[in-house]
Amino acid sequence: MANLKPPLPRALRPKPKGPSEDNGKAKPGRKEKLAQKGISTIDWIDERTALSGGARWVMFRKIPRGTNWFYTLGSASLFAFLSQAVTGVILAMYYDPSATRAYESVRYLTNEVFLGEFVRGMHKWGSTVMVILVFLHMGRTFFYGAYKYPRELNWVIGVVLLILTLFMSFTGYLLPFDQRSFWATTVGVAINGTGPLVGPYLNDFLRAGPEFGVTTLARFYALHMLVLPGAMAAMIGAHLYLVARLGTTAPPWLKADIPADSRKDGT
Ligand code: HEM
């Protein structure tokens, strides 16, 4: 049906905001110009890469009813990982992985470098926070039944991520090379050695030989700042791909309302 209402007189019409007060004839303000520039830069990149399709696929999606704060634990774990990566890179700029200089390099970083103690503290406490977050996130996915079909593979990838996270903490603990880290790691490596079959081999591999020696520290450092974070980044990529592809699981108490034969995902 046509709209028969007469148009409002000009003076009574709501005032348009910003520089377009005279129906777009005024020149755009500085903010508008910047926004326009930003949009055209994104368009320029998108025209050449078609990345927006991927971004849309990842970001614009329906989420199940009942999604709550517990669903943020995965993203919190991701943030903890990124924070560890950034602070770790800064620490690596000062750290010296040699048995005779490691302790001194950490002392120098803590006491002499501007904000060194802060960055070191963030990395140290961040590692504990990350372990807690990953465990909580695992608990959330377990209690919400998110490990079931079709997300079993993502659960398995998650378990690998948990083991890698724990190994990151373990290898990082030795690096300050003070009495506590030395003896704690000696005990930790010996415990590894008691594992069935692979235990003794893992033991030799970690120590880089039959005894704790000068190469042990270099091995822990290489594992801690290259091998494990690289593997974690790859695993997190796969984990997030599956989250984006499969979506997240609705809370089980809501799903129970739906008759089983009308569920589309077969869960
Ligand atoms: C570095 C460690 C980890 C990171 C960065 C991470 C990240 C994420 C993110 C961002 C999500 C989507 C949001 C959410 O549901 O919270 C997710 C979902 C999921 N994660 Fe993780 N995760 C990690 C470890 C784990 C672990 C240890 C497990 C289990 C053993 C796990 C199992 C799952 C499962 C099954 C889902 C799908 C959840 C659903 O469908 O509702 N993740 N993860």
User: With a 6 A CB cut-off, is 81 part of the ligand 1 pocket?
Assistant: yes
What is the pLDDT at residue 102? Answer: 97
Q: Is residue 135 part of a domain?
A: yes
Is 120:91 a contact under the CB 8 Å cutoff? yes
User: With a 6 A CB cut-off, is 250 part of the ligand 1 pocket?
Assistant: no
User: With a 6 A CB cut-off, is 235 part of the ligand 1 pocket?
Assistant: no
Q: Is residue 27 part of a domain?
A: no
Domain with 157, as residue range(s), is 70-246
Q: Whose CA is nearest to atom 15 of ligand 1?
A: 71
Is 229:86 a contact under the CB 8 Å cutoff? no
Interval between CA 67 and ligand 1 midpoint (Å)? 14
Q: Is residue 116 part of a domain?
A: yes
User: With a 6 A CB cut-off, is 267 part of the ligand 1 pocket?
Assistant: no
Q: Is residue 122 part of a domain?
A: yes
Which of 65, 77, 149, when mutated, tests ligand 1's pocket best, judged by the most ligand atoms within 8 Å of its CB?
77
Q: Is residue 178 part of a domain?
A: yes
Q: Is residue 51 part of a domain?
A: no
Provide the CATH number for the domain around residue 83. Answer: 1.20.810.10
Q: Which atom of ligand 1 is nearest to the CA of 159?
A: 30
Interval between CA 245 and ligand 1 midpoint (Å)? 13
Q: How many domains, the chain?
A: 1
Q: Is 200 helix (H, G, I), strand (E, B) or coil?
A: helix
Is 248:140 a contact under the CB 8 Å cutoff? no
Q: How confident is residue 25, by pLDDT bands cut at 50, 70 and 90? A: low
For 190-235, write each residue's pLDDT tens digit: 999 999 999 999 999 999 988 888 899 999 999 999 999 999 999 9
Interval between CA 151 and ligand 1 midpoint (Å)? 10
Which conformational region is residue 104 in: left (phi greater than 0), alpha (psi within -120 to 50 degrees), or beta?
alpha
Interval between CA 57 and ligand 1 midpoint (Å)? 19
Q: How confident is residue 106, by pLDDT bands cut at 50, 70 and 90? A: very high
Q: Is residue 58 part of a domain?
A: no
What is the pLDDT at residue 214? Answer: 83
Q: Is residue 48 part of a domain?
A: no
Q: How confident is residue 8, by pLDDT bands cut at 50, 70 and 90? A: low
Q: Which atom of ligand 1 is nearest to the CA of 246?
A: 40
Cα 207 from Cα 214, distance rounded (Å): 9
Task: Choose among 207, 76, 199: nearest CA to 131.
Answer: 76
